A and B are shown apart, each in its own frame.
Chain A
């Protein structure tokens, strides 16, 4: 018996172009399931995917720096597990700046910041570069909380001195090949402060960068390549930093 593949073919063709949405996503799944182990379905899917992939070659190629290949190999072979600080790169004004304007203070972040203060003060004193060893010396430290849904995060720093320590909890796994990226918002430009993956929901990251000129901090979820400019909206935004 020959089965009708008209509906499946149409949906596979649209899917191959990335255009399938709405109820048709589920419809395709149901249709494919109803066909079971279907050689014709596999052939159609393969051929339409192949056709769609070929379309890319209608475009004129862009110039690419071959050094990017080595960068990818380096990043892939040494994935970010703690804060990594790529060279600062300017990026256009984006969601980060807009978010700053409409953000509002949330209770949990304030509580988190308050709870984190003692830990942060101690940790900065212990781990920060060029820090004195006594907690007494940290009276000029500033602690800011973050607002957002990704988790509870606080950051300690000394105005006028490089470096900041971030402590967080309640963070979900950002997903395979994803990291949380830390950004320093300097005017309209987000500058990378490195990337970090949470361990058991907790984040401890030292941003070894100059915070001079940084108005606020933000966190986004990014590819594990730790991009030099944000590609998604922030999931956390800090209080304004004290100069």
Chain B
């Protein structure tokens, strides 16, 4: 648990470095979070080259305006992933039809991209975070988990989920709230 605090402290130090235009600090934060950011973008947009662009755009925004990060409002990692997720969802909503056609070839593109990767970036300390998040998700009732995963990982809006599942909109909303309350308790509130 202490490791998480230390990791967050280091992240904030890196953001401070970026504010001083320290390129090494930027590379440090990129190396730490770009692999997770790309995974998130890829999951939402389902295309490797689009995911790459989203990640680059998010990190470019970070470099250009690091003051946008407010340490009173949460961790660096959640802020970064929020930026990536917002961009990915925005793209999906605008390019829904584009995405549907692209899904068919997404796996090929992903494999190709992996083959051509020049370097694998280590994510120090993040496997523990991944274990915690997965465990928290696994603890959710399936109905709540499904709604959350569709909304976050598939980029679907509450209305789209209601339409796709046949559930009343109110049910989608209440399941989202209940699931998020549980996750918040597991991942945020009980964190030392």
Q: Interface on A for B, CB 8 Å cutoff?
A: 9-10, 13-14, 16-22, 24, 45-73, 75-76, 91-92, 94-95, 177, 223-225, 227-229, 231-233
Contact = CB atoms under 8 A, between A and B. Distances in A.
B156 A19 contact: yes
A66 B137 CA distance: 30
Report the 8 A-B pairs with minimum CB-CB distance, sorted nearest first: A53-B78, A61-B35, A63-B117, A56-B81, A19-B151, A13-B180, A21-B157, A62-B38
A14 B175 CA distance: 10
Nearest to B161: A19
Contact of A59 (B39, B57, B188): B39
A64 B133 contact: no
B183 interface: yes
B43 interface: yes
Contact of B152 (A55, A71, A229): A55
B184 A48 contact: yes
Given A21-B159, A225-B57, A56 B64 contact: no
Interface residues of B, number: 85
Q: For chain B, what secondary structure do more than half of its interface residues adopt (helix, strand, loop), or is it mixed?
A: helix
B27 A66 contact: yes
B43 A51 contact: no
Given A47-B189, A69-B31, A56 B180 contact: no
Given A14-B151, A72-B59, A24 B158 contact: yes
B60 A18 contact: no
A72 B69 CA distance: 19
A43 to B, nearest CB: 10
B31 A223 contact: no
B120 A57 contact: no
